[in-house]
Structure 1
Amino acid sequence: MITLGLIINPLSGIGGAVGLKGSDGTDIVEQALALGAQKKSLARSRQALQVIADLSSRFQILTCPAEMGEELAAEFGFSYRLIDADIAQTHTSADDTRKAAQAMLDAGVDLLVFAGGDGTARDICAVIGDAVPVIGIPAGVKIHSGVYGITPLATGNVIRSLLCGELVDVKEAEVRDLDEDAFRNNQVRARHYGDMRVPQHGHFVQAVKQGGVEDESLVLVDIAAYLCEEMEDDVLYLIGSGKTTQAIMDELGLENTLLGVDAVCNRELVGRDLSASQLLQLSSQYQQTIAVVSVMGGQGHIFGRGNQQLSPALLHQLGKQNIRVISTKTKIAALNGRPLIMDSGDPQLDQAWSGTIEIITGYRDHIVHTLA
């Protein structure tokens, strides 16, 4: 019988929807909770484990107390036991994650499954290294590391393939993390912290977030000029994060939040660096709202990576017809035929929007690409 280690960081991603751009540190967690942030990693872990629920006779789980794994294992009725380590019951920390990883390494788990973001991956990598295969359930704000499934369901599918005895490669993948303080000041500083061995199956495991910026300034100017020309009066435009969308704000001559979501109406700034609740409230005041998002280089995500402020509730309210995706053709070609990824946090919404979507790639230039 296969033994799966399960570590859930219950506070991972808690700062995303309220615009804090991270969850590292007690102060940020307390600030996020004070702003009304909701814990999401348990729900995302549930999505992943649901995929293997019918195979429970093939594995047992070694996990942590309470929110760090025990509650979910009990909910599914899985056979599980708890690690022998001094783990906090609430307000868990990076130290708790490292203690849990060490206990699972000592116990000799076959595969370590964890839910979190780059900070969680970094903590686990510091203990595990390449000693045990691992795979992450994406639940954080910033996910640049290549150790996560492209969605929680994708992570579940990789685990399922392993449990079913299918051929699953194991390859080294990078663990990368950002400096959150610099991130909040619109500076992207990613550092390589090590490598872990990750099961690979199809296109279920995400690539490392590509750093750097291509010299495609003329293409971005064309895209920005076209979008600004098409802007209608009295329509609210939500400009998503990233350097691609920054070109639109530059074209309008407006101040831009590189790593946040800004709101524009009648070519004027009506909101800066807005949280999920602020966006939902502001959008309800307009007859039409359009969200402009870019494609994450190397991975293909349009939702769920760095723009959690665009919540499932807001996306339901907008509808797929009010989404504008922008990208250079070079970035799309680099996906090598892989679809764009929607990881909104609501699997039913992701499924409903799957199929194809138009991408603006230049001045009056569009392509159609698959969306998974």
Structure 2
Amino acid sequence: MTRLGFVVNPIAGMGGRVGLKGTDGMVAEARERGAEPRAPDRAREAIEAFLGREPDATIVTAEAPMGADAVREAGGDPQVVYSPEADAYTETSSQDTSAAVEAILDAGVDLVCFVGGDGTAVDVAEVINAVGSDTPMLGVPAGVKIYSAVFGVTPADAGRVAATFDDVEPREVNDIDEAAYREGTVRSELKAVVRVPVTRSVQSGKQLARGTIDTVAAGYARGIEDGRTYVFGPGGTVGSIESELDIDASPLGVDVWRDGSVLVRDGSEDEILESIESPTTVVVSPIGGQGFIFGRGNHQLSPAVLGRADEIDVVASDEKLDALDVLRVDIDDAELAESLRGWQEVRTGRFTTRLIKVE
């Protein structure tokens, strides 16, 4: 019978929608800005998918808010091996994650499944390597930074993979400097190599290389419409469009612009919603190597924001698209996510476009 190790970082991803680009050391500020936890719902979704395929499995976990609550809500009966001092209203720490993972490994499991982002992945990987375990690990995406190649594409995908995988391979765990990230610099560092289930439902690592995008920017700028609100997502490709329009862009934030004026720079979800007026276009570029257009590094572009847009434009160089089989979305609104799936036209040059499927 399968024994699944399960641990949740309950504060993962709280900084995303409020524009903090991460939660490391920023939980208090995130809460002051009105951030709500997203990890608990994603944890429950993953466990529901897992139990749908392995109803008799044993789930070894930490007490609430680090896993047991999500298992119970999903209809499971958790085996609790660690209890954090923090409760649902206080902040757990990376030390709690490490202690929980060590206790889970001591109990004997077939897989360590964690809910969080790259920082949580590092904590889990460091414990696995430190104790010399060959137990594989798998991430349920909940953080803002999700560049490592150890995460399921969606929470449900992670749950299904945890229940059905039959092979593993070495994958990289990377993390970035959040302080530098908030200033617009992606500074990635390899932290560990771990064993991860092999399937298309586990994302690849993010490619940080930047292709030639001048013609994409020039072509897009030619089609700007007067009276339309443009919500520009993060990243170098979209940033080049903003530069073409003489916008002082926030390289890794979300900007709102209309008729030559920047209405919001590096905005939170609430600031974006307050500034946009119809008609509205959201402009994004997929993450290289992964293909995500929503749900990785741009949580400010929430379902509420996307619901206010009448157009979504995707831009990318041919080099970036050549490395992608599909585009992906991972947002907390199943109906909206489904509406975004299908064939998407992507601008790839001054006059050229390509069709690629969104899954």
Q: TM-score, normalised by structure 1?
A: 0.92
**How far apart are residue 170 of structure 1 and its match?**
0.2
Which residue number in structure 2 is paired with residue 325 of structure 1? 314
Are positions 1:239 and 2:232 aligned together?
Answer: yes
Unaligned segments of structure 2, at least 5 residues: none
**How far apart are residue 339 of structure 1 and its match?**
1.2
CA–CA distance in structure 2, aligned partners of residues 56 and 67 of structure 1: 23
The answer to whether the 8 Å contact 1:87/1:100 transfers is no
Are positions 1:296 and 2:287 aligned together?
Answer: yes
What is the aligned counterpart of 2:192 among 168, 179, 194? Answer: 194
CA–CA distance in structure 2, aligned partners of residues 54 and 142 of structure 1: 28
The answer to whether the 8 Å contact 1:85/1:99 transfers is no
The answer to whether the 8 Å contact 1:6/1:114 transfers is yes
Are positions 1:341 and 2:317 aligned together?
Answer: no
Which residue number in structure 2 is paired with residue 165 of structure 1? none
Are positions 1:260 and 2:249 aligned together?
Answer: no
Are positions 1:9 and 2:9 aligned together?
Answer: yes
37-46 or 346-355, larger mean C-alpha shift: 346-355
The answer to whether the 8 Å contact 1:340/1:370 transfers is yes
- Residue by residue over 1:294-353, the C-alpha shift from the partner in whole angstroms, topping out at 9 and shown as x without a partner, is 01000000011111100011112225xx00000011111112xx2100112222221222
AA at the equivalent of 1:293: V
What is the aligned counterpart of 2:208 among 206, 211, 221? Answer: 211
What is the aligned counterpart of 2:63 among 49, 62, 65? Answer: 65
Which residue number in structure 2 is paired with residue 120 of structure 1? 120
The answer to whether the 8 Å contact 1:64/1:87 transfers is no
Are positions 1:108 and 2:95 aligned together?
Answer: no
Which residue number in structure 2 is paired with residue 147 of structure 1? 150
Which residue number in structure 2 is paired with residue 363 of structure 1? 350
The answer to whether the 8 Å contact 1:145/1:177 transfers is yes
Which residue number in structure 1 is paired with residue 301 of structure 2? 310
Unaligned segments of structure 1, at least 5 residues: 163-167
**How far apart are residue 88 of structure 1 and its match?**
2.6
CA–CA distance in structure 2, aligned partners of residues 349 and 50 of structure 1: 20
CA RMSD between the two structures: 1.4
AA at the equivalent of 2:323: A
267-276 or 118-127, larger mean C-alpha shift: 267-276
AA at the equivalent of 1:54: G
CA–CA distance in structure 2, aligned partners of residues 344 and 84 of structure 1: 30
What is the aligned counterpart of 2:137 among 131, 134, 138? Answer: 134
Partner SS, residue 348 of structure 2 = strand
Number of residue-to-residue matches in the alignment = 354
Percent same amino acid at aligned positions? Answer: 39
The answer to whether the 8 Å contact 1:224/1:251 transfers is yes
CA–CA distance in structure 2, aligned partners of residues 182 and 137 of structure 1: 25
CA–CA distance in structure 2, aligned partners of residues 22 and 329 of structure 1: 30
Which residue number in structure 1 is paired with residue 339 of structure 2? 352
CA–CA distance in structure 2, aligned partners of residues 316 and 249 of structure 1: 23
Partner SS, residue 246 of structure 1 = helix
